[in-house]
Amino acid sequence: MGLLSEGSPLSWEETKKLSDHVRKHGVIQFINLYKRLRDRQGDVLKWGDEVEYILVKFDDDAKTAKLSLRAMEILRILNEKENEDPDNTKSLWRPEYGAYMLEGTPGKPYGGLLAHFNVVEANMRYRRQEAAKLLHPNEVLMSLTVFPRVGAPDFTDPPTHPTPNTGASRSLFFPDEAIYPGHPRFKTLTRNIRERRREKVAINIPIYRDESVPLLFKEDFTSKGDDCSSKVAKDNYIYMDAMGFGMGCCCLQLTFQACNIEEARTLYDQLTPLCPIMLALTAASPFYRGYISDVDCRWSVISSSVDCRTQEERGLKPLKENKFKISKSRYDSIDSYLSRQGEKYNDVPLTYDDEIYKQLLDNGIDHLLAQHIAHLFIRDSVSLFSEKVHQNDLEDTDHFENIQSTNWQTMRFKPPPPNSSIGWRVEFRPCEVQITDFENAAIVCFTVLLTRVILSYKLNLLIPISKVDQNMIRAQKRNAVKVEKFWFRHDITSDIKSDNTQSEYTEFTINEIINGKNGIFPGLVPLVNSYLANMNVDADTHCTIQRYLKLIQKRASGELLTTAAWLRKEVTSHSEYKHDAVITQRINYDLLRKIHSIVSNDISCPELLGQCISSKTTDTIPAAVAKAEKCSATNC
């Protein structure tokens, strides 16, 4: 969840009073950082993944599966290796929002060799095994985007109770004890977002209309003494009221280092149209609060779960106390491109702070970057620590990071951290996490390969931001891979100069985008393959990459199910399922047990994974392979 400042959190009232202070110094810090680092050159292509996990506790007698709230205990041990020898660890572990969550990354970022693609899955497997060693009997680490019964009665181990009238969330369903207790940031964000908004967050997701779901699906919250929930809960929707429903979901993220700021802007822009496509392809979250929903992805849930906008800002009341009407939550898809090539596709009116924008221009920052930063800085700080209020703006970047790291968008433009060897980076944030390391490695390697192809072939994938926004909505619909069409550029290989951007894109299925459409669009996987054909790849890596590309191709064509489609099928074909969209404790238990059996290779699941899942992935790159690849790259 971005930067984790340590210290004593301020109350919302104190934080609110300091919001101009944080903005003012955050902008100065960005200006100083930009002046220092804008000309930084020659960083090499590095990249790394982030996988989020949940801890599940099975009770095989009672036939229940619950979220185990022991992540902090486990994290403390996992961090020991890193604390002792930070440069020689194969994995890094971080806290996440849930008291049942962990985030794992490789110990070091990967580099530019193709042979690195053969290490990704082995490293993911290593992380899973490393954590598994620390678990209690019947506890399992799972990479599952959403726990089906999160917020349903009795979903935690040990048992907890929500506290609608006290604490950080004030939720009817999600207890504060399920928020990570080891760092004050998470509860502080929860409380401040709720207090800033002046009401609980409200998340409404359509219920899946199975045959026994009542014609009017309406839950009664008044009996719980909660008027506020009854007012905002919509009929025929699954209602949720806490940050934990969104931030308690797991995702798969990727960070790329570019050789300089220009290349980082290009990557940021070019990956933007891929966000909804990859969201649809990785869809893995059809269940919420023990119900089957009618959406396949977490995005709108997580977006609403941290929506700190007041009624004025949401446009429900005329502006009086607030400065801006704001069209999106601070967790949402990006609103503007950053590269010159992207400029003409910035067709969504951008809300930004004029004074900040002007200050950035006056300091030599160009229009596109200035409006991006000024747009991020329409937000207030929602988590501030007393030790961090006063900073040295020439060296520190905490106030900048404070606002930057709580703009949770599909893409993030990451400047180099102070005093580090790290360059300009971009983060790709839309993907949902899959249940197996094989699938996650496939998504990671496919996306990284796409960045290589984009940069080497100078591809242009840009379409108007408004079309990317439309695609984000389509991507989340049930079965989007099979039934939806997405705006996509048809000619991505030649840089046609037209004034009429409308003729540049049309609607494609995911299958056509990934696998190609005869004579009209080459397809992203065929492009990756033609790039690979010109490269010298060792046999094992080649084989691994081909398995990954096949998985992506078959998911896109519908030959294999998406995770969301498979999860739905498992629940709706369970013998206890009553066609009422309800996921009982028993259904949940059987589903999670089955997932664990698949991940442990005890049973196969060809409808999800295909036939060929045996793997040549290795922990390290053999020296001879690395040498051969380096030599072929430099023609030595």
Residues that bind Mg ion (CB under 5 A): 1-2, 50, 103, 253
> Please, which of residues 426-485 interact with ligand ADP by CB under 6 A?
427
Residue with tokens 């890094």: 92
Measured distance CA(347)–CA(482) in Å, rounded: 29
Measured distance CA(408)–CA(332) in Å, rounded: 7
Q: What DSSP string describes 393-418?
A: TTT--HHHHHHHTT-EESEEEEPPPT
Measured distance CA(448)–CA(433) in Å, rounded: 16
116 interacts with, out of ligand ADP, Mg ion, none, CB within 5 to 8 A per kind? none
What is the chain's Cα-based Rg?
Answer: 24
> Interface with ligand ADP includes 417 (CB under 6 A)?
no
> Interface with ligand ADP includes 104 (CB under 6 A)?
no
Return the range that interacts with ligand ADP (CB under 6 A); candidates 137-145, 254-262, 527-535, 558-566: 254-262
Measured distance CA(177)–CA(85) in Å, rounded: 32
According to the 3-state scheme, what is the secondary structure of 434-475?
A: CCCHHHHHHHHHHHHHHHHHHHHHCCCCCCCHHHHHHHHHHH
- Compute how many other C-beta atoms are within 10 angstroms of the C-beta atom of residue 254: 21
47 interacts with, out of Mg ion, ligand ADP, none, CB within 5 to 8 A per kind? ligand ADP
When the beta carbons of 44 and 394 are compared against ligand ADP, the nearer one is: 44
* Phi, psi (rounded to 5 degrees) for 571: -70, -45
Least distance from Mg ion to the Cβ atom of residue 412, Å: 7
> Interface with ligand ADP includes 422 (CB under 6 A)?
yes
Those residues with Cβ within 8 angstroms of residue 421's Cβ, 6 or more apart along the chain or in another chain: none
**Quick one: tokens of 330?**
């601070």
422 interacts with, out of ligand ADP, Mg ion, none, CB within 5 to 8 A per kind? ligand ADP
> Interface with ligand ADP includes 516 (CB under 6 A)?
no
When the beta carbons of 94 and 200 are compared against ligand ADP, the nearer one is: 94
List the one residue from 190, 257, 409, 451 that touches ligand ADP (CB under 6 A).
257
Least distance from ligand ADP to the Cβ atom of residue 55, Å: 18
Least distance from ligand ADP to the Cβ atom of residue 405, Å: 7
> Please, which of residues 1-40 interact with ligand ADP by CB under 6 A?
2
When the beta carbons of 426 and 567 are compared against ligand ADP, the nearer one is: 426
Asked if residue 297 lies in contact with residue 481, where contact means CB atoms within 8 angstroms, the answer is no
List the one residue from 118, 171, 255, 266 that touches ligand ADP (CB under 6 A).
255
Least distance from Mg ion to the Cβ atom of residue 253, Å: 4
> Interface with ligand ADP includes 50 (CB under 6 A)?
yes
Return the range that interacts with ligand ADP (CB under 6 A); candidates 47-55, 69-77, 368-376, 390-398: 47-55
> Interface with ligand ADP includes 105 (CB under 6 A)?
yes
Q: How far apart are the first and last CA of the chain?
A: 43
When the beta carbons of 50 and 538 are compared against ligand ADP, the nearer one is: 50
Least distance from ligand ADP to the Cβ atom of residue 257, Å: 3
When the beta carbons of 190 and 588 are compared against Mg ion, the nearer one is: 190
- Strand 46-59 vs strand 64-68: parallel, antiparallel, or unpaired? antiparallel
Least distance from ligand ADP to the Cβ atom of residue 585, Å: 33
Q: What DSSP string describes 214-237?
A: -SS-----GGGT-HHHHHHPPTTE
Least distance from ligand ADP to the Cβ atom of residue 263, Å: 12
Site string for ligand ADP, 84-103 (x = CB under 6 A): ----------x---------
List the one residue from 23, 25, 46, 170 that touches ligand ADP (CB under 6 A).
46
Those residues with Cβ within 8 angstroms of residue 61's Cβ, 6 or more apart along the chain or in another chain: none
- Strand 64-68 vs strand 156-157: parallel, antiparallel, or unpaired? parallel
Whose CA is closest to 596, among 140, 120, 138? 140
46 interacts with, out of Mg ion, ligand ADP, none, CB within 5 to 8 A per kind? ligand ADP
Least distance from ligand ADP to the Cβ atom of residue 161, Å: 31
Residue with tokens 């037209």: 498
Measured distance CA(24)–CA(18) in Å, rounded: 10
**Quick one: tokens of 539?**
């046999």
Length of the chain (residues): 636
Whose CA is closest to 104, among 440, 445, 548? 440
Dihedral sign for Cα 124, 129, 130, 136, please. positive
When the beta carbons of 48 and 148 are compared against ligand ADP, the nearer one is: 48
* Phi, psi (rounded to 5 degrees) for 122: -65, -40
Dihedral sign for Cα 226, 232, 238, 241, please. negative
When the beta carbons of 128 and 478 are compared against ligand ADP, the nearer one is: 128
49 interacts with, out of Mg ion, ligand ADP, none, CB within 5 to 8 A per kind? ligand ADP
When the beta carbons of 253 and 562 are compared against ligand ADP, the nearer one is: 253
When the beta carbons of 111 and 167 are compared against ligand ADP, the nearer one is: 111
> Interface with ligand ADP includes 111 (CB under 6 A)?
no
| Residue 529 CA, distance from chain mean position | 27
Return the range that interacts with ligand ADP (CB under 6 A); candidates 232-240, 419-427, 436-444, 611-619: 419-427
* Phi, psi (rounded to 5 degrees) for 191: -65, -45
> Interface with ligand ADP includes 415 (CB under 6 A)?
no
Asked if omega into 106 is within 30° of 0 (cis), the reply is no
When the beta carbons of 267 and 480 are compared against ligand ADP, the nearer one is: 267
Question: Which residue of the chain is nearest ligand ADP when measured via CB?
Answer: 48
List the one residue from 289, 379, 425, 489 that touches ligand ADP (CB under 6 A).
425
List the one residue from 49, 157, 269, 296 that touches ligand ADP (CB under 6 A).
49
Least distance from ligand ADP to the Cβ atom of residue 429, Å: 8
> Interface with ligand ADP includes 109 (CB under 6 A)?
yes
When the beta carbons of 2 and 522 are compared against Mg ion, the nearer one is: 2
Asked if omega into 522 is within 30° of 0 (cis), the reply is no
When the beta carbons of 55 and 267 are compared against ligand ADP, the nearer one is: 267
Which residues share a beta bridge with 103? 52, 94
**Quick one: tokens of 428?**
């790709």
Size of the site for ligand ADP (CB under 6 A): 17
Q: Which residues bind ligand ADP (CB under 6 A)?
A: 2, 46-50, 94, 105-106, 109, 253, 255-257, 422, 425, 427
